[in-house]
Amino acid sequence: MKKNKPAKTNGTKKSVKISDTESEKLEKSSKVDSLDDEDQNFGGWLKSSDGMETMKLFVLANSVVMLTTIAYPHIQTIFSIILAMIYGTDELH
């Protein structure tokens, strides 16, 4: 890092001024580090191709389970109607 030397003064205090561009570089490098930390967690795995493929499989499987759960009573009613038409009713008159 470049440090600008202050003008000579009679006092014993020494100050160091960092230019704006250097401070911006430090901020950018810290942001990159935080992104690298995020890529090591679940978010990073999800951004990878393996994560995307697994998520697509999960969405498909979840859709099948939800449709089956919601539609099961209706499917059961349809099967009972078809069986009643084919084999007749089980009621005794």
Low-confidence ranges of the chain (pLDDT < 70): 1-39, 90-93
Rounded to whole angstroms, the maximal C-alpha distance in the chain is 118
Distance (Å, whole) CA 56 – CA 46: 11
The pair phi, psi for residue 10, each rounded to 5°, is -80, -20
Residue 35 confidence (pLDDT): 53
Residue 70 confidence (pLDDT): 94
Distance (Å, whole) CA 92 – CA 84: 13
What is the number of other CB atoms lying within 10 angstroms of the CB of residue 44? 14
Residue 43 confidence (pLDDT): 82
pTM for the whole thing? 0.42
Distance between start and end Cα atoms, the chain: 100
Per DSSP, 40 falls in state T
Residue 32 confidence (pLDDT): 52
For the segment 22-42, what is each residue's pLDDT rounded down to a tens digit? 666 666 655 555 555 556 788
